[in-house]
Amino acid sequence: MTELLNNREHKKEELKKLILRIHNGEDVNTLKEEFRQVLSGISPLEIPIVEQELVKEGVSAKDIAKMCDLHVELFRESVAGTDELEERDLPDGHPLKTLYAENKEIMKDAEMLNLYARTLASTKDERMGKEILGVLEELISDLRGVGFTHYNREEMLIFPYIERRGLTAIATVLWTKHDEIRFMIKHFAELLKRKNELPWDEFTSRLVEKGGKLSFALSDMVFRENNIYYPTLKALLTDGEWKAIREQEEEMGFYKVNPPAWDPGEDVKPLHPWEIDPELSVEQLLGLPKEVQQALKGKPLEFDKSELKREGDVDMGTGYMNVEELRAVFEALPVDVTFIDRDDRVRFFSPGERIFDRTLSVLGRPVQLCHPPKSVHIVNRILRAFKEGRKSEATFWLHLGPKYVYIKYVPLFDKGGNYMGTLEMTMDIAEYRKIEGEKRLLDWRVEVKRETT
Residue numbers 160-179 binding a copy of itself by CB under 8 A: 160-161, 163, 168, 171-172, 175-176, 179
Pick the closer one to a copy of itself by CB: 41 or 364: 364
**Least distance from a copy of itself to the Cβ atom of residue 159, Å:** 7
Rg (CA), the chain: 30
**Least distance from a copy of itself to the Cβ atom of residue 445, Å:** 7
**Least distance from a copy of itself to the Cβ atom of residue 131, Å:** 28
Determine contact, residues 187/217, Cβ cutoff 8 Å: no
DSSP alpha helix (H) spans, 80-199: 84-87, 95-122, 126-146, 152-153, 159-164, 168-193
Largest CA-CA distance found in the chain, in angstroms, rounded: 96
The residues near 232 (Cβ < 8 Å, ≥ 6 apart) are 162, 167, 170, 288, 289, 292
Binding mask 48-77 for a copy of itself (x = CB under 8 A): ------------------------------
**Least distance from a copy of itself to the Cβ atom of residue 329, Å:** 6
Task: Outline where DSSP puts E strands in 170-316.
Answer: 314-315
Contact stretch for a copy of itself (CB under 8 A) within 121-129, 155-163, 199-207, 232-240 = 155-163
Q: Binding a copy of itself by CB under 8 A: which of 360, 417, 449, 453?
A: 360
Is residue 190 part of the contact set for a copy of itself (CB under 8 A)?
no
- The DSSP H or E segment spanning 424 is strand 419-428
Q: Which of 335, 314, 332 is nearest to 323 (CA)?
A: 314
Contact stretch for a copy of itself (CB under 8 A) within 30-38, 47-55, 59-67, 407-415 = 407-415
**Least distance from a copy of itself to the Cβ atom of residue 334, Å:** 6
- The DSSP H or E segment spanning 254 is none
Is residue 284 part of the contact set for a copy of itself (CB under 8 A)?
no
Is residue 157 part of the contact set for a copy of itself (CB under 8 A)?
yes
**Least distance from a copy of itself to the Cβ atom of residue 217, Å:** 16
Pick the closer one to a copy of itself by CB: 34 or 247: 247
Buried b (16+ CB within 10 A) or exposed e, 8-45: beebbebbbebbebbeeeeebeebeeebeebbeebebe
Tell me which residues in 257-276 interact with a copy of itself (CB under 8 A).
272-274
